Structure 1
Amino acid sequence: MPLAAIPGTFQVIGASPDGDSVRFRPDDPDAFANAGIKAHTNSSGAAQLRLDAIDALETHYTPRSAPHPWRQPADLGDGAATALLDLLGFSDVQRDEHGIVTAATPETRPGYILSRFADKYGRAVSFAYAGKRRGGASGSVYLEVPELRRSVNHQLLSAGWVYPTFYSLLYFDLREELARVSVAARADRKGVWRHDSTLTGLGLTSRDQLQNQLVILPKLFRRLADYLTLDEPSSVDLAGFPAFLEARNDRIFTVPAGQATAFATLVERRRQRLKLTIAPEQIVFLEA
């Protein structure tokens, strides 16, 4: 898979990195532009990354109709964020009450990313690595499975800290490898898979339960949060959720069946109980 190899530094002070997103500043200020990646950069040239193919439990998601952020269970959400920073080489990370990093050892860490585009929010969709790339090459490179396995994306998925969430621009050979380690993590009940209710089914009783107890696919959590905040503050009535999902029209195809459909068709509702009918690694979302 050809991507742009971009060396630089990971930066965490003043930011709120979670388990699938972190700030990165290329050594070459023109690196993103030269690679045709339309990333949004700050005054220092740093951009927020979206780590490709993975989705960590939400630590600060603000629904469209809510003034305040929602989150998923802290032990796994914060644990994924800590694991990511540890893999990148940070230690002694301190945060304020809003999750903003106020101190870390060291304050920046060298590394590189492999990327080829930015998402609609201007985040560079990337595979991230600590240290220097073997061989030192930059520019256009071909990502193969051995190098994929060294990425923090692969390591977080293998350890069960994150869910697989695949998009259509991810090449099939890389997706197959990431699906393989996801299935293995679930079989070993690592991390999120020890408590996952996405596939076994969840019975929703309160908003507090959704945020502090249930461990579910973050994509489903975000859709539930967006839906619930359209209603009265205490409501958790799921009667309108299927129609809400249909209106969102998240287009997907399934693998290996190759069925083109919508995410809504894969979420089964029976009164206050929801269940995803196929495993997350068998779903490929179309990039918006």
Structure 2
Amino acid sequence: MSMLLIKGTFRVPPRSKPDGDTIPFIPDNLADWKLVPGREPIAPAPDGRVSVRLEAVDALETHYEGAYGPEQHQPLDFAHRAANELLAWVGFASVDRHEDETVATIPESVPGFILTRGSDIYGRCVALVGRGAPPACSGYEVRVDEALLRKTANFHLISLGLAYPTFYAGFPRELREELTTASRAARAAKKGLWADEVDVTMKGAKITGMSSITAANGAVILPKLFRRLKEYLDLKPSEPLLNCFPTYLAGAGDEFRIVSERDGLVGLHRVVEVINGHTLRMTRQIEEIVFDEK
């Protein structure tokens, strides 16, 4: 698949709170943002900076507000590990994380590039992230194959087990398969989130309230499932059971398909089950799912 290559620098501005699947990027030529396809145009900050969302990667949430309630986060240990690893991989020699979640880096910026197939419905640039000198000229389409994918931060985070592969329909099958292989290898080696007693998405998480998924010793689950569950708990803060959660998921209307099946599905309730009112688990590994791009 061909993607637009943009050369520039990664720069973490003062008072920012980067996480494990976004990184601030400024092109050398700010006009390159106008080349990014998508239904919503890229809207950079006054200095040209945009927080680039890593393609096919979902890291634990460090700050998620959602539609209804106050900002929440998942257990921060592995959320911070992913964020720090991303910054270190692109070339920041030092990452100083403060108590208020803001980050200072040394140096202030590092050179790199992104490979993007476009913006999402929120106007965010979704991309593969590369470090150092790019393999081609900025502003041109570049063929992205498995070899080039393996040189990206996206592949790196998944290969370490620090993030979940999360695929959307426009991402090519051969690249999905490469990341799936990397993720399964990390799981087999019990790296990162796949170490014993860390991720419980498939095993099942006992949910008794918001702290069950936000406290330091809370359940580590797929971020997409966390976001849906957080919004549900915001709506029903005094409800001790999850019996209505599948109905909520059906109403959310996530559209996806299972890679081994032909027909599309609507609603994550089709791959999520609630046991005894409190225990929540997914019935499919995340790499088996391809979400539609709305």
TM tier, shorter chain?
over 0.9
2:244 is aligned with what amino acid?
G
Give the structure-1-normalised TM-score: 0.95
Whether 2:73 is the aligned partner of 1:71: answer: yes
What residue in structure 2 maps to residue 243 of structure 1? 247
- 1:217 and 2:222 aligned: yes
**Separation in 2, partners of 1:259, 1:91:** 47
Structure 1 residue ranges without an equivalent (≥5): none
1:259 lines up with 2:263 in the alignment: yes
Q: Which residue of 2 aligns with 1:185?
A: 186
Unaligned runs of 5+ in 2: none
Q: How many pairs does the alignment contain?
A: 285
Q: CA deviation at 1:209?
A: 2.0
TM-score by length of 2: 0.93
Alignment of 1:1-288 (within 5 A): 1-14=1-14, 15-36=16-37, 38-66=41-69, 68-101=70-103, 103-136=104-137, 138-194=139-195, 195-212=198-215, 213-232=218-237, 234-262=238-266, 263-270=268-275, 271-288=277-294
Per-residue CA shift, 1:34-59, capped at 9, x if unaligned? 24352221101111111000100001
8 A Cα contact 2:206 2:212, kept in partner = no
**C-alpha contact (below 8 Å) 2:201/2:220 kept by paired residues:** yes
More displaced 10-residue stretch of structure 1: 3-12 or 207-216: 207-216
Secondary structure in structure 2 of the residue aligned to 1:75: helix
- Specify the code of the residue in structure 1 equivalent to 2:154: N
What is the rounded CA distance, in whole Å, between the counterparts of 2:232 and 2:249 in structure 1?
A: 9
Whether contact under 8 Å (1:72, 1:210) holds in the other structure is: yes
SS of the counterpart of 2:5? strand
Q: How much has 1:155 moved relative to structure 2?
A: 0.4
Residue 136 (structure 1) shift:
4.9
| Alpha carbons 2:209, 2:233 under 8 Å: kept | no
**Percent identity among equivalent residues?**
38
RMSD value over aligned CA atoms? Answer: 1.5
